[in-house]
Amino acid sequence: MPRSASVPPAGPAALATADAFRTIAELGGDVAFILDCSTHTLAYLSPGLDDMLGYGRVDIEQQLAEGGDGPLAALCGGLPARLRRFAAGDGSRLRVTRAFEVRRPDGRITPVEVISTLLADDAGQPRSLAGLVRDLSARRAREHEQKRFASMLNHEFRTPLSTIDGAVQRLEATATATGADEPTRQRYRKIAVATDRLIAMLDDYLSPERMAELGRQRQPNAVAPRLLLEELVAQARVAGRPVSFDAHDLPAALRGEPAGLRLALKLVLENALRHTPAGSPLHVGGRRSGGGIELALRDQGPGVAPDDQPHIFDKGYRGTNAAGTPGKGLGLYMARSVVEVHGGSLGMVTPAGGGAEFRLWLPAQESTADAAPKHLASGETNSDNRAGNVDSHPTTMPGNT
């Protein structure tokens, strides 16, 4: 058999760990199984399958023997094709994860996830298929509740925003018809712009389409730090800024919520673009620092006034140099909150050459679940502040193809 893929050996040492494998799987509420590749019979099946799906070992063995498209077909087919592909040198099915639904004897539907891996003997021949079956009902229920809550928020926010939007349009029309002064018309325009921005944020983060994406695939919990910086550089260049980039010795992946970290960096960039001269250069950098990583954005603008520096991350705070620019003082506040939820920090320093440099620090090893989140910053600022992609195809258990 080709050895293009590395198969975990299933010799005496591996067999000695079978009891531990079953115990670990069952402690988590999953169903463990071990299937003999040569006979296509079950060597082990957790008794908990009956509670999970309403079927027992006899039902599984009958389905294995008879085949067909019965209610357990997704659990019981596919091993021969998987073994043929491996024999031909295809290692892509060495470990397989699939999600699908099983109809119980009482007619109810149970969503499950099956994870399985081929185990080989000392000669490299597939000997066993070991895996687990996981009930996704609780996860699906949480996702449904998240969607319902987000839909409620979307509606509750969108209704008053639509009212404000309609009212300000009437005010603008009246101001134009009556020849109102320019400052009055500008105030109405700022309200309209802010309303449009909030509605756009609802579309981005709480729209039905965005919520529908939940549950279609396993949400990522890791992101490549260098990729975050490269995306930041691309955004800055699209905005017409020359950017220098220097990143080295960064870990390949960092635990965290990718969309949240991207948003935090985007808000910091928007702040720099808003409060520095058009066309002025930016510098983006990344490095390891203090048991974590530091991502930095430096501009060559006028910098942040010393009296403003302690407050630039405060909610609603706008620096003395922000006069005449739109905004509500929320961008940097939001950015710091996102970073602190990840167990990190966001700060600003004044470089020796002037301007402002924002430094985002994140722990290199801790996950968002393990890291003790800090309290949300009492001050964050926005671009307003002056400152410095699991398979969901039908699958198979003893033998996912």
Fold of the domain spanning 12-135: Beta-Lactamase (3.30.450)
Of the ranges 19-33, 99-113, 219-233, 255-269, which one carries the lowest mean pLDDT score?
A: 19-33
**Fold held by 222-363:** Heat Shock Protein 90 (3.30.565)
Which band of pLDDT confidence, cut at 50, 70 and 90, is reported for residue 266? Answer: very high
Helix (H, G, I), strand (E, B) or coil at 242: coil
SS3 of the chain: helix, strand, coil, percent, to 5:
40, 20, 40
CA proximity to 401, closest of 37, 95, 39: 95
Of 26-30, 94-98, 229-233, 357-361, minimum mean pLDDT range: 26-30
Residue-level pLDDT at 152: 75
What confidence tens digit (pLDDT) does each residue in 125-137 have? 888 888 889 999 9
Structure confidence at residue 390 (pLDDT): 35
Query: For 295-330, how does the pLDDT look when each residue is reduced to its tens digit (9 = 90+)?
Result: 999 999 888 888 887 778 888 776 666 655 655 667
Contact assessment for residue 334 and residue 314, using Cβ atoms and an 8 Å cutoff: no
Alpha-carbon span 74 to 101, nearest angstrom: 8
Residue 217 has pLDDT above 60, yes or no: no
Place of tokens 């309403």: 54
**pLDDT at residue 284 above 90?**
yes
Q: Provide the token pair at 244.
A: 């220098």
CA dihedral 159, 160, 166, 170 (to 10 degrees): 160
The pLDDT, as a whole number, for residue 179 is 84
Q: Is the pLDDT assigned to residue 215 strictly greater than 80?
A: no
In angstroms, rounded to a whole number, what is the distance separating the alpha carbons of residues 291 and 288?
7
* d(C-alpha 204, C-alpha 302), whole Å: 32
Report yes or no on whether pTM surpasses 0.95.
Answer: no
Domain ranges, ordered by start, for the chain: 12-135, 140-213, 222-363
Residue carrying the six token digits 């602190």: 340
Cα gap 269→231, rounded to integer Å: 11
State the pLDDT confidence band at 209, using cuts at 50, 70 and 90. low
DSSP assignment, residue 136?
-
Half-sphere exposure of 183 (CA within 13 A, CB side): 1
Identify the three-state secondary structure at position 313.
coil
